[in-house]
Amino acid sequence: MAKNMDQIVDVAIVGAGIVGLGHALAAIDRGMRVLVIDRGAEQTGSSIRNFGHCCITVQSGAAQVHAERTRELWLRLAEETGLWLREGAFVVARADDELAALREFAARRPAQVEEIDADEVTARTGVGAGIATGGVRLLDDVQVNPRDALAKITAYLRSRGVEFQFQTAVRTIRTGRLHTTRGRVGADTIVVAVNHDLDQLFPDLAAQYEVRRCGLDMLRVSIPGLRAPLEGPVLTGWSMLRYSGFAGSPSLAGVRDRLWSVHPTLAALDLNQMYTQLPDGTVIVGDTHYRGDAIAPFQQEAAFDELLRLAAEFFGQAPDGIRVVERWQGVYASAPAEFLVESPVEGVHVVGVTTGIGMTTGLGLADRVMAEIYEPVGA
């Protein structure tokens, strides 16, 4: 390791989002001296701007493996940190093709997916009367409150000896050392978990993986006339077009063709119509998606109009029955591959979730990366 450092640790982690925290957890569990560095004064990235929906049940391939491990880690963290968590999520069908696709999905995953009838869907998701034709409950899904979760995990890691250095930007990274705006840090292992800002630290790697930014419009609303509390995250036919676990359902093509042809404006917004309710009763409403190397900070009111119109329709409310509490823009790394795990130089590990499923897979991915560093197979 390089000499003349201001600070020396075993593991230095750049980025205090969920992916960085996952690595810190895995490192402190192994008895390492761990430092997490973030340029923000506190976490303000994707990890607190999301729905808090860990959509474990609807993944496939590597994402499913990471999601299942992530689920175990969320349950453990809930126990150890007291963070708010509940299990299960719902997909509401509002058309025959959606119900058919859900039944095909449930038939493939009988242990994880439970079909429920329209009355039960209506009673458990807050959807307006007569709107649902049926649905499923995703048994392995988990919901957390992102703002509460990040704060609790950070406090917990601190209590176990992990050091956090906020308001500190990492400028350059080499084997065994990194230069920050507050001095030099020496570390045998360096993990870079900076989400879409990877293009600033490792531009060639970001270009190789075709990493771009995805911007999203989000709202938190209060709905005084909500018919029933949402017993978990609530997904719709639009969500079924996004998650890889649904892909094997023959009826899905019909869902896509119908939604895209009947609702071209919503298709152009790349909509995922979904809702999560927080413990205070407010509901997170989302979301739209737009991609580019830069994301304009100027959010289109037309997109919010559509999200609010859809929410009113879904929950059977008059247009003025929904009050906006907050609006925000989310940004995350987006690339053709779901994950980016690379070691551009010895001892430096770049780790990113390059689709919008970091809350679902990030902890498990981090756990796997640290296991491969410290307990390599065949070593």
Binding-site ranges for ligand FAD (CB under 6 A):
14-20, 37-40, 43, 45-47, 49-51, 53-55, 169-170, 193-195, 197, 201, 216, 218, 287, 330-332, 352-353, 356-360, 362
CA distances to 233, 234, 239, 324 from 282, in Å = 13, 14, 21, 10
Q: How far is the CB of 107 from ligand FAD (least distance, A)?
A: 25
Using the minimum distance from each CB to ligand FAD, give the nearer residue, 206 or 312: 206
Using the minimum distance from each CB to ligand FAD, give the nearer residue, 122 or 125: 125
Using the minimum distance from each CB to ligand FAD, give the nearer residue, 140 or 287: 287
| Greatest Cα-to-Cα distance within the chain, rounded to the nearest angstrom | 69
Q: Look at residues 233, 142, 189 and name the one whose alpha carbon lies nearest to residue 27.
A: 189
Q: How far is the CB of 363 from ligand FAD (least distance, A)?
A: 10
Segment holding 332, helix H or strand E:
strand 323-334
Using the minimum distance from each CB to ligand FAD, give the nearer residue, 49 or 71: 49
Q: How far is the CB of 320 from ligand FAD (least distance, A)?
A: 25
Q: Look at residues 339, 222, 351 and name the one whose alpha carbon lies nearest to residue 284.
A: 222
DSSP assignments along 215-247, one per residue: EEEEEEEE-TT-SS--SS-EE-HHHHTT-GGGT
Q: How far is the CB of 299 from ligand FAD (least distance, A)?
A: 12
Q: How far is the CB of 16 from ligand FAD (least distance, A)?
A: 5
Q: How far is the CB of 265 from ligand FAD (least distance, A)?
A: 20
Using the minimum distance from each CB to ligand FAD, give the nearer residue, 92 or 100: 92
Query: E strands along 44-133, which residues?
Result: 53-54, 85-93, 113-116
CA distances to 158, 197, 242, 246, 364 from 15, in Å = 15, 10, 27, 32, 17
d(CA 313, CA 358): 29
Q: Note the residue count of the chain.
A: 379
Using the minimum distance from each CB to ligand FAD, give the nearer residue, 27 or 359: 359
Using the minimum distance from each CB to ligand FAD, give the nearer residue, 185 or 201: 201
Q: What angle do CA 105, 106, 107 make, to 5 degrees?
A: 90
3-state secondary structure of 47: helix
Q: How far is the CB of 178 from ligand FAD (least distance, A)?
A: 9
- Where on the phi/psi map is residue 100: left (φ > 0), alpha (ψ -120 to 50), or beta? alpha
